[in-house]
Amino acid sequence: QVQLVESGGDLVKPGGSLRLSCAASGFTFSDYYMSWIRQAPGKGLEWISYISTGGTFTNYADSVKGRFTISRDDAKNSLFLQMNSLRAEDTALYYCARDLVPGRSTSDYWGQGTLVTVSS
């Protein structure tokens, strides 16, 4: 069965960095676009990035562009999100998701999320 397991969330100070990982199993990871979506505590969903198969194309929300970098390692069935220059407003549960439709972040499987807290 499809499984996505995020890790790497932590408490970090403003201006700090963090790298999130998402381990995928139960499907051919290299065949799928993947996305990151976040949810601030008690708030709604915010799409933040997707990456194409092979990692050729990436796209970001303006709120994270220039600070976050999405990447993937198909040999390790893993998705990553490098987060730099973190701000209090980046505090959220971060989900990785498999995309049903290439380039459309229509996410048919989601992980359980990893919590990032940005606070001094």
The number of beta carbons lying within 10 Å of the beta carbon of residue 53 is 17
Q: Which is nearer to other proteins, 11 or 45 (CB)?
A: 45
Rounded to the nearest whole angstrom, what is the least distance from the CB of residue 110 to other proteins in the complex?
4
36 vs 80, which CB is nearer to other proteins? 36
| Nearer residue to other proteins within complex by CB, 3 or 14 | 3
Give the Cα separation of 97 and 27 in Å (integer).
13
Binding site for other proteins (CB under 8 A): 37, 44-47, 59, 61-62, 95, 100-101, 104-108, 110-113
Give 106's contacts (C-beta < 8 A, 6+ positions apart). 99, 100
CB atoms within 10 A of CB 61: 14
| Alpha carbon 61 to chain centroid, angstroms | 12
Closest distance to other proteins from the beta carbon of 13 (Å): 27
Smallest gap from residue 120 Cβ to other proteins (A) = 28
